[in-house]
Amino acid sequence: MSTEAPAKQPWAEPPPWIRFLRKHIWVIGILFFLTMITAMRPFLIRRPPPPEAIGEVPAFTLLDQEGETFTREELLAADKTWVVGFVFTRCASSCPAISGAMLSFQEQIDRSKLSDRVELLTVTVDPEYDTPEVLAAYADSLGADLDNWRFLTASQEAIEDFVVGGFKLAVGEPKVVAGATAGDVGVFDIAHSSKLALVDRYGNIRGYYSIDEDGLAELYHRTLRVIRIEEGE
């Protein structure tokens, strides 16, 4: 009787897909990792909360560049987000930059297909001079799209209530610029804020933003955030 141990049977050859996995295990692992990171990215993004309400737009009655009244009730009924700037047409200092920044912002809103959800308001701080007709000419000189941009004036008292009382922004007294001659655009100066205010659809003031590149970028993203939160996105 033989005492030799039975010969071992060779293992069967693994199927092709197993051989492929073994050969390319590192490549497959990297691709799997990248795929998982991409799929999880929306869950990893930290979405900052919308800017807190820091005030409320008071009741007001102003006139737009067409001479039509514009009130707080109409602002709320429009169900839009608002960006508000303060200028006067005879200004030769900061106002051209403010209006230029608002024009750039309007163009960005148009490119983003948000012009039906965001409206711009330019409010004069020189209402005795800036009549609706003057504001209409000013808007035309800027090339402003009046479909979602209004230029507003009123009595001196109403403007002060709106700007100082509502937005808590200081407005100085008109003064003659040294060396200016009568008829010059910049013959008068009025100290006022150059920041743009963000107002939500409920009339809450959400913040003030500078008109430089960084400020406009922040204003744009804050505007988007306010819209998305309010619409439940």
Q: Is position 4 within any domain?
A: no
Kindly state the percentage of the chain with pLDDT values over 90: 61
pLDDT for 44: 42
Alpha-helical regions (H) of the chain: 16-23, 25-44, 72-77, 95-111, 132-142, 156-160, 213-230
pTM, entire model: 0.74
72 contacts: CB under 8 Å, gap ≥ 6: 57, 58, 59, 60, 203
What is the spatial distance between Cα 172 and Cα 26, in angstroms, rounded to a whole number? 69
For residue 24, the enclosing domain spans: 11-45
Q: Is 95 annotated as a binding residue?
A: yes
pLDDT for 92: 82
Q: Is position 151 within any domain?
A: yes
Residues 82 and 140 in one domain: yes
Quick one: pLDDT band at residue 228, thresholds 50, 70, 90? Answer: confident
Dihedral over alpha carbons 53, 56, 62, 68 (to 10 degrees): 60
Residues 20 and 62 in one domain: no
Q: What are the tens digits of pLDDT across the range 168-178?
A: 998 877 776 65
Q: Is 91 annotated as a binding residue?
A: yes
Q: What are the tens digits of pLDDT across the range 75-100?
A: 999 999 999 999 999 988 889 999 99
Q: Is position 27 within any domain?
A: yes
pLDDT for 105: 97
Q: What are the tens digits of pLDDT across the range 25-45?
A: 776 667 666 666 665 554 444
Q: What is the pLDDT of the chain when averaged over all its residues?
A: 84
Q: Is 97 annotated as a binding residue?
A: no
pLDDT for 33: 65
